[in-house]
C-alpha cells in the first residue's frame, strides 16, 4: 500500500470510528434523559418544545442545504482553478447568508407566537393531567430553543463545504460533541432535582434546573456549529452574499427541490406524531425512546451496507445494467438479512429495554406501551433498510423520481396511520399505535422501492423473495423465543433488566443464526465472508 493510500485508509478509519462513537453517544444521551428527566410532564414539555426548531430548520432550509452543497461545490474545489474557487466561495456564502436570514425571520416570528404554537402541540389531555404549568414551561423552553434554528444552518453549510473539500473529520465529530454537551446537561439536572420533583408538575421544578435543561440543549447546538469552525480555514472566502455564482442558482434549486417532497412528508409526520402522542403525558418521550432504539440496529447494520456499496454502484452505473445488478442484488439480500437480525434482537429485548428506559429513577413505570411498541416496530427495520439502500441505488441510475415517489408514498401511509390508529386503540397504547403506523408505511416504501429498482435495473431483486422469506422466518423465531423468555422470566427493575437484556439478545442472535443457516445458507455465508473482510481491513 502506498503512503497516500495508507493515509486515505487511516482517515477513513478515523471518520468511521467517530461516526460509531457519535451514534453511541446519541443513544447514551437518550438513555441519560430517560434516567434524569424521563417520560414525565417535564419531559413532555421539553420534547414537544424541542421538536419545533428541528421542524422549522428542515422545512425552511434543510431541503435546500442537506446534501446539496457537496455535489455543487466538489467539482469546483477539485478543478484547482482560481475562478472555480471564487465561484465556490460566492455560492457557499450565498447559501449561508440566505439560510441564516430566513431562519432568523422564522425564529423571530415563532418567538412571538411561542405560546399558541405550544398550545397546538400540547393537547388538552396532557395539559389537564400535568397542570397549566406544562404550557408555561414548554413556552419558556421554546424561547430558549429558538436560537438553535440559525445555528443548524451554520453547521449544515459548513459541513457541506468541508465534505466538498474531502475534509470529513469535523462533520463526523460534531454530533459526538453535541451529544456529550446535551447529555451532560441531562445528568446535571439529575443532580440538581430529586426524582420526586421531576415526576411532579413542571411548575414545581426549580427555574435553575429548567434553565440547565433547556440551555444545555441549545449549548449542544452551539457546540455542533463550533465543531465546524475548520470551514473558516481553507479555500472559501466567506462574505455576505445574496446571489450564488452564475449557473449555481439553478442547480441549487434543482437539487433542493428533488428531495423536498420527502422532507416535507417527514416533517408533517413529525408534527402529527407530536400532537397524537401528547394526549397522554410522557407518551411523546416514550415514542422518542422507541425511535432511538429502532434507529440503533438500522444505523449499525443496514446503513453501513448501503454506504459501502454506494460508490461501487455509482461507478457501475456507467458500465451497464448487468454489472449494476450483480452488485445490487447481493446488497439487497444482505440488507434484508442484517435487518432481520436487528428486528429479532429488538423484539426479543423489548421487555427489559422498556424497564431500563421507563422504570428508572425518573420514569413513569408505564413499560407496557413501550415494550409492545418495540415488538410491533421491529419488522419496519426490513423496509427502512431497503429505503437506505435503494434510494441511493435509484439515484445512481437517474431514477430519482421513482425513489422520491416510493419514499413519499410510505410516509403518506405512516401519516394516515398516525392520525387514525391512536383513535382505535386505548390512550395508554398510543406509542404502539405509532409503531404500527411506521411498520406499515416503511414496509410499503421498501416494497415500492424494490419494485422500482427491479424495473430500473433488471435482476436487482434476484433472490430477494427467497431471502425475505428466510429473514422473516429467522427473525420471527428469534424474536419470538426472546419474547417468550422475557414473559416467563420477568425483570421489573433496571439492574436485573440490563442483565436479562444482554443474555436474551445473545440467545436471540444464536437462534437467528441457526434458523438463517438452515433457510439461507449461501447468503449467510456470503454475509459472514463480507464481515470477515471488513474486520481485516
Q: Give the pLDDT mean for 292-319.
A: 81
Q: Which helix (H) or strand (E) holds 247?
A: none
pLDDT digits (tens, 9 = 90+) for 430-489: 999 999 999 999 999 999 999 999 998 888 888 889 999 999 999 999 999 989 998 888
* Contact criterion met (CB below 8 Å) for 385 and 336: yes
In a domain, 321, yes or no: no
Q: Is the pTM of this model over 0.75?
A: yes
Angle (CA) 108 112 113, round 5°: 115
Q: Is residue 279 situated within a structural domain?
A: no
Position with higher pLDDT, 393 vs 210 = 210
Residue 167 belongs to some domain of the structure: yes
Q: Is 503 exposed, middle or buried (0-12, 13-18, 19+ CB in 10 A)?
A: middle
169: exposed, middle or buried (Cβ count in 10 Å: 0-12, 13-18, 19+): middle
Q: Which of 214-223, 392-401, 513-522, 527-536 has the lowest mean pLDDT?
A: 527-536
Please answer whether residues 427 and 279 qualify as being in contact, where contact means their C-beta atoms are separated by less than 8 angstroms. yes
- Within a domain: 409: no
In a domain, 55, yes or no: yes
Q: Burial, 54: exposed, middle or buried (Cβ in 10 Å; 0-12, 13-18, 19+)?
A: middle
For 323-335, what is each residue's pLDDT tens digit? 788 888 888 999 9
In a domain, 309, yes or no: no
325, 458 Cβ separation under 8 angstroms: yes
**Distance, C-alpha 177 to centroid of its chain:** 17
Structural domain for 151, as ranges: 38-258
State the DSSP code for 300. I
Half-sphere exposure of 245 (CA within 13 A, CB side): 17
The CA distance from 54 to 48, in Å, is 11
Which helix (DSSP H) or strand (DSSP E) does residue 113 occupy? none
Contact between 390 and 414 under an 8 Å Cβ cutoff? The reply is no
- In 43-101, DSSP assigns E strands to none
Q: What is the C-alpha to C-alpha distance for residues 314 and 396, in angstroms, rounded to an integer?
A: 5
Give per-residue pLDDT as tens, 508-529. Answer: 999 999 999 998 888 788 777 7
Q: What is the model's pLDDT at position 5? A: 43
The answer to whether residues 338 and 298 touch, using CB atoms and an 8 Å cutoff, is no
Nearest to 285 by CA among 92, 102, 464, 36: 36
Q: For residues 161 and 73, is the Cβ–Cβ distance under 8 A?
A: yes
Would you state the pLDDT for residue 219? 96
Whole-number Å distance between alpha carbons of 511 and 475: 9
- Report if residue 153 sits inside a domain: yes
Q: Other C-beta atoms within 10 Å of 461: how many?
A: 20
- The closest alpha carbon to 270, from 391, 414, 372, belongs to 414
* Residue position matching grid coordinates 454530533: 175
| Mean pLDDT in residue range 8-34 | 79
Q: What is the mean pLDDT of residues 235-240?
A: 83
- Determine how many CB atoms are found less than 10 A away from the CB of residue 537: 8
The structural domain count of the chain equals 1
Q: Is residue 357 part of a domain?
A: no
Instruction: Band the pLDDT of 505: cuts 50, 70, 90.
Output: very high
Amino acid at each position: 500500500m502506498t503512503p497516500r493510500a495508507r493515509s486515505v485508509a487511516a482517515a477513513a478509519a478515523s471518520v468511521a470510528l467517530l461516526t460509531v462513537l457519535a451514534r453511541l453517544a446519541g443513544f447514551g444521551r437518550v438513555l441519560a434523559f430517560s434516567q434524569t428527566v424521563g417520560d414525565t410532564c417535564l419531559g413532555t414539555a421539553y420534547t414537544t418544545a424541542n421538536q419545533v426548531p428541528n421542524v422549522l430548520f428542515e422545512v425552511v432550509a434543510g431541503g435546500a442545504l442537506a446534501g446539496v452543497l457537496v455535489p455543487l461545490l466538489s467539482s469546483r474545489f477539485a478543478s484547482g482553478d482560481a475562478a472555480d474557487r471564487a465561484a465556490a466561495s460566492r455560492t457557499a456564502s450565498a447559501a449561508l447568508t440566505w439560510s441564516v436570514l430566513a431562519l432568523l425571520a422564522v425564529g423571530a416570528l415563532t418567538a412571538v407566537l411561542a405560546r399558541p404554537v405550544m398550545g397546538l402541540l400540547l393537547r388538552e389531555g396532557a395539559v389537564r393531567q400535568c397542570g397549566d404549568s406544562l404550557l408555561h414551561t414548554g413556552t419558556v423552553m421554546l424561547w430558549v430553543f429558538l436560537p438553535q434554528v440559525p445555528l443548524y444552518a451554520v453547521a449544515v453549510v459548513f459541513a457541506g463545504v468541508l465534505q466538498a473539500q474531502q475534509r470529513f473529520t469535523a462533520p463526523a465529530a460534531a454530533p459526538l460533541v453535541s451529544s456529550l454537551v446535551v447529555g451532560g446537561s441531562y445528568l446535571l439536572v439529575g443532580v440538581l432535582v430529586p426524582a420526586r420533583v421531576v415526576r411532579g408538575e413542571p411548575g414545581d421544578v426549580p427555574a435553575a434546573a429548567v434553565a440547565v435543561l433547556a440551555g444545555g440543549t441549545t449549548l449542544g447546538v452551539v457546540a455542533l456549529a463550533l465543531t465546524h469552525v475548520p470551514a473558516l480555514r481553507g479555500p472559501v472566502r466567506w462574505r455576505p452574499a445574496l446571489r450564488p455564482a452564475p449557473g449555481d442558482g439553478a442547480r441549487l434549486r434543482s437539487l433542493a427541490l428533488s428531495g423536498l417532497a420527502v422532507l416535507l412528508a417527514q416533517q408533517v409526520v413529525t408534527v402529527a406524531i407530536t400532537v397524537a402522542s401528547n394526549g397522554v403525558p410522557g407518551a411523546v418521550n416514550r415514542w422518542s425512546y422507541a425511535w432511538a432504539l429502532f434507529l440503533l440496529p438500522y444505523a449499525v447494520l443496514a446503513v453501513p451496507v448501503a454506504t459501502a456499496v454506494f460508490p461501487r454502484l455509482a461507478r457501475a452505473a456507467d458500465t451497464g445494467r448487468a454489472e449494476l445488478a450483480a452488485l445490487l442484488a447481493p446488497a439487497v439480500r444482505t440488507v434484508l438479512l442484517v435487518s432481520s437480525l436487528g428486528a429479532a434482537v429488538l423484539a426479543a429485548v423489548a421487555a427489559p429495554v422498556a424497564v431500563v428506559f421507563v422504570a428508572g429513577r425518573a420514569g413513569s413505570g408505564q413499560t407496557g406501551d413501550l415494550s409492545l411498541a418495540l415488538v410491533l416496530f421491529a419488522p419496519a427495520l426490513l423496509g427502512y433498510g431497503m429505503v437506505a439502500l435503494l434510494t441511493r441505488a435509484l439515484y445512481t441510475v437517474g431514477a430519482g423520481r421513482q425513489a422520491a415517489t416510493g419514499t413519499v408514498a410510505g410516509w403518506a401511509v405512516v401519516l394516515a396511520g398516525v392520525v387514525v390508529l391512536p383513535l382505535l386503540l386505548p390512550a395508554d397504547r398510543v406509542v404502539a399505535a405509532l409503531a404500527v403506523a411506521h411498520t406499515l408505511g416503511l414496509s410499503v416504501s421498501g416494497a415500492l422501492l424494490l419494485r422500482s429498482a427491479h424495473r430500473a435495473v433488471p435482476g436487482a431483486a434476484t433472490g430477494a423473495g427467497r431471502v425475505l422469506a428466510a429473514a422473516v422466518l429467522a427473525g420471527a423465531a428469534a424474536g419470538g423465543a426472546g419474547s417468550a423468555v422475557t414473559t416467563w422470566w420477568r425483570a421489573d427493575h433496571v439492574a436485573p433488566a440490563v442483565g436479562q437484556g444482554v443474555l436474551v439478545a445473545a440467545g436471540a442472535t444464536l437462534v437467528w443464526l441457526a434458523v438463517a443457516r438452515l433457510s439461507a445458507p449461501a447468503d449467510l455465508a456470503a454475509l459472514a465472508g463480507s464481515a470477515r473482510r471488513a474486520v481485516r481491513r
